[in-house]
Structure 1
Amino acid sequence: MSKKVVTLAHYYCQPEIQQMADKVGDSLELSLYAKECGADTIVFAGVRFMAETAKILNPDAEVILPDAGSTCSLVTQTDVGALKAWREAHPDHVHVSYINSSAEHKALSDWIVTSRNVDDIIASLYADGKKVIFSPDRNMGAYLNFQYDYGMPLWSAVCEVHDKFNQSALDEAFASVAGAKYLIAHPESPLPVLQQADYVGSTSGMLNWVKSFDKEADAVIFVATEDGILYNMGLARPDLDIRQAPIYAGCQCNSCPYMKMNTIEAVKRAQAGVGTRIDYLSPEAVDAARLPIERMLEFSKRYYA
């Protein structure tokens, strides 16, 4: 009996990689898809923490990452020992962690959140009288503190791609457009950028915002996130003028170097069984990391039903 091999690609991968995939989407969406379709082997064209999440949710499947170097600055900027000490220094707080984190990080968390459900989950915790510490994304946490005045202690890591967006470059870009202009942004961007945005949300949320755009036909839409999603936005709405937000004057060129390690050759090798296997997580580590994810999934099932 042949094994079912499923290739997953994140929106931030290059278009030719997306075209090789069985499913394109956000990281959690992809891992859940693999579970639903009963994949025996998962080739995950993304970054390592995404492949780890796929293994956590599909422990019996073989998970292969095309390139061993495809990591994430939110992971590399987080020392797990220091994180453990930080959590222990706040014993009366609930530790909420963004899904863009390592398996070890997840295992030290009480809740995992995505950029789609983070507002609702943290609001629910505060409504229940809890106090929260948030990791690893400092920018996302700062935006939540700004919006809701939580005063949450924050971990200090950032996404090196989103952190490059800045208000002065945006001001210049906006000034160069005579007509209507809009900014949509991922919450991993710095607070001044998010304060200027017409919409802040997940990658899928931004894509859906573009799909449903029904305002000025000649408007310019600036997008503050990794450039891979502009391919999907262009496919969905070729009639719109969609541009990546600049990171400095004149530059609309902000790519994740780790996502771009998923080359055609690397993905083909992974599909043939050659790549980095996510086989180093112990059953205990997988179970510990799965628990806060399951809390999130159960919350979402109830809250968004």
Structure 2
Amino acid sequence: MTKVVTLAHYYTTPEIQEMADKVGDSLELSLFARDAEADLIVFAGVRFMAETAKILNPQAKVVLPDMGSTCSLVTMTDISRLKKWREEHSDYVHVAYINSSAEHKALADWIVTSRNVDDIIAHLYEQGKKVIYSPDRNMGAFLNFQYGYDMPLWDAVCEVHDKFNKVALDEAFSLVSGDKYLIAHPESPLPVLHESDYIGSTSQMLNWVRDYNGNSSAVIFVATEDGILYNMKKARPDLDIRQAPIYTGCKCNSCPYMKLNTIEAVKAAQEGRGGTEIDYLSEELMKEAKKPIDRMLEFSERYYRK
């Protein structure tokens, strides 16, 4: 009998999350996929996540319910131009965000996530290394500002997080008379991050909400994709949790690619009658892309065990 494991990202709809064996952010799901003893992994997320799962567990059949579920950080990155940029900075360490294609990862020295990027880049600077960062311009700009780095940055953004803006936030804040907080994903623009009380990965923001013990009547604004609000409100139904607006009056900001993971598409993939198998990555490409991922995982195992 075929053993099927279904993974769903926090940004998918609640109905899709209820169909999954594991719900998490991209790193959590990739690690789960790596260790899963599954014949078929259905990855309800976006393409780079399914590719990462295949790279980490090449023996499993990995299926993406809808091949159209890509990411603007991938589509805004021309690999030939990236390779030239990398060659122009040959004496730099290339750190790439996990939200990138397999081809992109193969050109990197290190892969990072929004959870460990601060520690890994600090580690490299402590060693006297020079760093270039790709593909997320907003995250790189925040790191340069926060820590005084001068990293050359690639010029791509997450089209969802890049829509958050300070003007809309200030308007929303002005309508709240009591306590208010803003928690934000580091893919958001720098002016938004300057306004934030907490900046972290999807899972870290969820944990912040779970652990919140301040004024129960406070309004908590969340600057990230709206899917995670389901998990936050489920964990803390006692709190007033709202998505940060992207312009005055708008409180909805969804990733169109994540929402391609429909109930019908996921069911078809689970039953082996739909979806697209991640079988187009060559062994050599997976080998090269795995090196910077393994470097990240080895660092994390050493660093966070202390």
Is residue 86 of structure 1 aligned with residue 104 of structure 2? no
**Counterpart Cα distance in 1 of 2:248 and 2:27:** 34
Amino acid aligned to 2:177: A
Equivalent residue, structure 2, for 1:157: 156
Is it true that 1:297 corresponds to 2:302 in the alignment? Answer: no
Contact 2:110–2:292 under 8 Å retained in 1: yes
The C-alpha deviation readout for 1:211-230, integer Å capped at 9, x for no partner, is 00000110000000000000
Does 2:250 match 1:251?
A: yes
For the residue of structure 2 that corresponds to 1:82, the secondary structure is: helix
| Distance in 2 (alpha carbons) for counterparts of 1:39 and 1:17 | 19
Q: Deviations over 1:227-255 (max 9, x none)?
A: 00000000000000000000000100100
Distance 1:45 1:267 in 2: 7
* Residue identity matched to 1:284: E
Deviation at 1:37, TM superposition (A): 2.8
Residue 142 of structure 1 aligns with which residue? 141
- Residue 44 in structure 1 maps to residue 43 in structure 2: yes
Aligned to 2:63: 64
Asked if 2 retains the 8 angstrom alpha-carbon contact of 1:28 and 1:53, the reply is no
Tell me the distance in 2 between the aligned counterparts of 1:260 and 1:275: 14
Matching residue of 1:185: 184
Can you list the C-alpha shifts for 1:126-151, whole angstroms capped at 9, x where unaligned? 00000000000000000000001111
CA distance in 2, matches of 1:150, 1:202: 20
Q: How big is the shift at 1:118?
A: 0.1
Runs of 4+ in 1 over 6 A off after TM superposition: none
Match of 1:215 in 2: 214
1:34 Cα offset (Å): 2.1
Write the distance in 1 (CA, Å) between the matches of 2:72 and 2:269: 23
Question: Once the two structures are aligned, what percentage of the paired residues are identical?
Answer: 77
Q: Deviations over 1:192-220 (max 9, x none)?
A: 00011000000000000000000011000
Distance across 2 between alignment mates of 1:37 and 1:286: 18
Q: Distance in 1 between matches of 2:28 and 2:37?
A: 14
Aligned counterparts of 2:26 and 2:200: Cα–Cα separation in 1: 15
5+ unaligned residues in a row in structure 2: which ranges?
none
Aligned equivalent of 1:236: 235
Match of 1:6 in 2: 5
| Residue aligned with 1:208, SS | helix
Paired amino acid for 1:169: A
Aligned positions, number: 304
Per the alignment, residue 170 of structure 2 pairs with 171
Structure 2: which amino acid aligns with 1:3?
A: T
Q: Are 1:74 and 1:136, in contact at CA under 8 Å, matched by a contact in 2?
A: yes
Q: Which moved more, 1:30-39 or 1:210-219?
A: 30-39
SS in 2 for 1:97: strand
The CA RMSD measured in Å over matched residues stands at: 0.5
State the match for 2:286 in structure 1: 286
Task: State TM-score, norm by structure 1.
Answer: 0.99
The worse-fitting range, judged by mean Cα deviation, of 229-238 and 24-33 is 24-33
What's 2:275 paired with? 275
TM-score (norm 2): 0.99
**Structure 1, residues 51-73: CA drift from partner, whole Å, max 9, x if none?**
00000000111000000100000
SS state at 2:214 partner: coil
- Give the letter aligned to residue 213 of structure 1: Y
> What's the secondary structure of 1:86's corresponding residue?
helix
Structure 1 distance, partners of 2:28, 2:256, is 22
> Match for 1:279: what amino acid?
D
- The CA distance in 1 between the partners of 2:160 and 2:73, in whole Å, is 10
Matches of 2:222 and 2:64 in 1, distance apart?
28
- Asked if the contact 2:35/2:57 (under 8 Å) is kept, the reply is no
Alignment correspondent of 1:15: 14
Shift of 1:111: 0.1
Moved more, 126-135 or 34-43: 34-43
Counterpart of 1:204 in structure 2 is: 203
Would you say the 8 A contact 1:226–1:254 is kept in 2?
A: yes
* SS in structure 2 of the partner of residue 152 of structure 1: coil
CA distance in structure 1 between the partners assigned to 2:13 and 2:219 by the alignment:
23
